[in-house]
Amino acid sequence: MAKARGKLADILSGWSKRVFKYLSDHESQSRVVRWLKHPILGFFVITIGWLSAGSVLTGIICCYTPIMTEPHILESSVEPNPTAGADTVTVKANAVIEETRKEADTLYINEGICIVGFSDTIQMEATDGAFDEKEENMEGKIYVGDREPGSKVNIDLEVYNNADECDSREFWVDVTEEE
Ligand SMILES: [Ca+2]
């Protein structure tokens, strides 16, 4: 339901831009258009705001509004960096759900992934064996042995809760030769 509302808000947002452009283009030719412009825009602003607020309350949209997202990645690291000849780097992270929202009691950390080089997805493993709690430590190993020394590897760590909200961290790994 909330996903549908978010989608509807996006669609309305697209329409409102087109309607605003049309009205702006034609307002010099018609007094009626000039009168209609602001009430119509007001309708879009209120409706989009209402739909977006609904999405936030049910916690589906990630990064849609300026409120703090959940979960929070508190600590994260990639080692070794620079690689100094190592063919594998280890990504470690600690993430928590904070009790800041009404529905927080139903939320838990349920996935961690690393997107490597903007394409390959590596699943993080919960160090206690399962993503099922409000706090999880996680770890993932990423093979970089096929990369040229001197290159950089982008790693995007994303941690999700069971409402599909995410927090993310970006790393650049320097691939270097053994010292
Ligand atoms: Ca666990």
Angle at 6 between CA 54 and CA 163, to 5 degrees: 75
Residue 64 lies in a domain: no
Quote the ligand 1 centre to 35 CA distance (angstroms): 59
- If asked whether residues 82 and 41 sit together in one domain, one would say no
- Alpha carbon distance 48, 29 (integer Å): 29
> For residue 141, is it within any domain?
yes
Q: How far is the CA of 151 from the centre of ligand 1 (A)?
A: 35
Q: Determine, yes or no, domain membership for 62.
A: no
Our CA angle for 165, 167, 170, nearest 5°, is: 145
- Count Cβ atoms below 10 Å from residue 105 Cβ, excluding itself: 10
Ligand 1 midpoint to CA 177 (Å):
37
Let me know whether 53 and 76 are in one domain: no
> Which is more confidently placed, 58 or 8?
8
- Kindly state whether residues 43 and 108 are assigned to the same domain: no
The alpha carbon of 110 and the centre of ligand 1 are apart by a number of angstroms equal to: 9
Question: Has residue 170 been placed in a domain?
Answer: yes
- CA-nearest of 123, 125, 74, 124 to 95 is 74
154 with 116, same domain: the answer is yes
Mean of per-residue pLDDT scores for the chain: 82
In tens, the pLDDT along 28-52 reads 667 676 767 666 666 666 666 666 6
Taking 90 as the threshold, does the pLDDT of residue 8 lie above it? no
Ligand 1 centroid to 79 CA: how many Å?
23
- If asked whether residues 22 and 91 sit together in one domain, one would say no
Residue 98 is predicted with a pLDDT of: 84
Co-location of 170 and 91 in the same domain: yes
What's the pLDDT tens digit per position in 131-155?
Answer: 999 999 999 999 999 999 999 999 9
In angstroms, the CA 114 to CA 40 distance is: 44
CATH of the domain at 156: 2.60.40.10
Note whether 160 and 98 are same-domain residues.
Answer: yes
The pLDDT, as a whole number, for residue 70 is: 82
The answer as to whether 179 is a domain residue is: no
- Is residue 141 within 8 Å of 118, Cβ to Cβ? no
The pTM score is: 0.62
129 C-alpha to ligand 1 centroid (Å): 6
Q: Does one domain contain both 81 and 161?
A: yes
% of the chain beyond a pLDDT of 70 = 64
Which residues are within 8 A (CB) of 2 and not within 5 positions of it... i.e. 6 or more apart? Answer: 54, 55, 57, 58, 59, 60, 61
Q: Which amino acid is at 85?
A: G
Same domain, 93 and 126: yes
**Number of domains, the chain:** 2
Enclosing domain of residue 142: 72-174
Residue 63 counted as domain residue:
no
Residues 12 and 43 in one domain: yes
Q: Indicate if 76 and 164 belong to the same structural domain.
A: yes
